[in-house]
Amino acid sequence: MDIGYVGLGNMGGALAERLQLTYPLIVHDQNEAAVQRLAQNGATPSGSLGDLASRCEVILLCLPTSDQVRDVIFGEGGLATAVKPGRLIVDQTTGDPGATRAMGAELARRGVDLIDAPVSGGAQGAKNGTISIMVGAASEQYVRIHPILAAISPNIFHAGGIGAGHAMKLVNNLISGAQRLLTLEGVALAMKNGIEPQKAVEILMAGGGRNSYLEKIMGPRVINGKLAVGFTLGLAHKDVRLACQLGIDSEVPMFFGNLTREFLQMCISEMGRDAQVDTAALVVDRLAGTHVVPPDYSLD
């Protein structure tokens, strides 16, 4: 079975590297250096989306937005120009559930299946094989894709039908985004009251305020001046914005989600859309008059 992977950025590249430990891959990306990294480990480069689509039974995608997914599938020279009936496209983007369902319906009329399988746990989790995978698919599609996704990680969850994986990923990133900002705010409050950030993190880790961001990012990285995590403020804002829109569409109040979205927008206005997401800590420091982030911080 030929498997293709399109989108070899920070996350997609890590997922593809993990997958190719078990399956030979045909890969495509606009960044030739990213393609060559996979090729050095045995992947076969494909010069075009149409070529990849004509050769592969299963095609996985990991792109920044659903708009880019649509372009890769339906745009000029896209996958839809050559993908054969009976093939399966797996979208690992953090995408818009509504857009995913619309694309799925369009592909279904061509006899092609689309499912969503976004991930959570970061590029390092992908490389380590510990990342969680949230799948939106019909039962028979889930059975079909499970062995392939299991080569990436054993932590696979069937969230529901198409779009459910993307919906669950937005819920995850909504909570994660709010947790990040509240943790930064809380540690700044502790510091403003005479408690050093390292001590504040130590105490919080032993109490009810313990959370994933505090444990994995704040403690080992942010308070040590390491602000690069390979994820931008723009992408974080996109995810929370989509979650808030999903709330509107679902008639669910999004008080804290909207606060998170607006704070991220403020950070973007100050730091830039392409700035690392944890530069939000610098904005909190400025507003609070603290220095939770040490002055010799690094963005590398």
Spatial CA neighbour of 297 closest among 275, 287, 284, 282: 282
- CB neighbour class for 179 (10 Å; exposed up to 12, middle 13-18, buried from 19): middle
Predicted pLDDT at 64: 94
Do 135 and 184 belong together in one domain?
no
- Summarised one tens digit per residue, pLDDT across range 149-185 is 999 999 999 999 999 999 999 999 999 999 999 999 9
User: Pseudo-torsion of CA 207, 209, 210, 215, nearest 10°?
Assistant: -120
Do 103 and 178 belong together in one domain?
no
Is 180 a domain residue? yes
Do 11 and 137 belong together in one domain?
yes
Predicted pLDDT at 300: 84
User: How far apart are the C-alpha atoms of 287 and 283, rounded to whole Å?
Assistant: 6
Q: Which residue has the tokens 């009976």?
A: 86
Q: Which domain holds residue 240?
A: 168-288
Q: Where residue 65 sits, what CATH number does that domain have?
A: 3.40.50.720
Cβ atoms of 49 and 28 within 8 Å: the answer is yes
- Summarised one tens digit per residue, pLDDT across range 215-261 is 999 999 999 999 998 899 999 999 999 999 999 999 999 999 999 99
Do 173 and 284 belong together in one domain?
yes
User: How far apart are the C-alpha atoms of 114 and 95, rounded to whole Å?
Assistant: 13
- Summarised one tens digit per residue, pLDDT across range 85-128 is 999 999 999 999 999 999 999 999 999 999 999 999 988 899 89
Last residue of a domain, one of 133, 161, 189: 161
User: How far apart are the C-alpha atoms of 10 and 290, rounded to whole Å?
Assistant: 32
Predicted pLDDT at 124: 87
Is 294 a domain residue? no
Catalytic residue ranges: 169
Domain count, the chain: 2
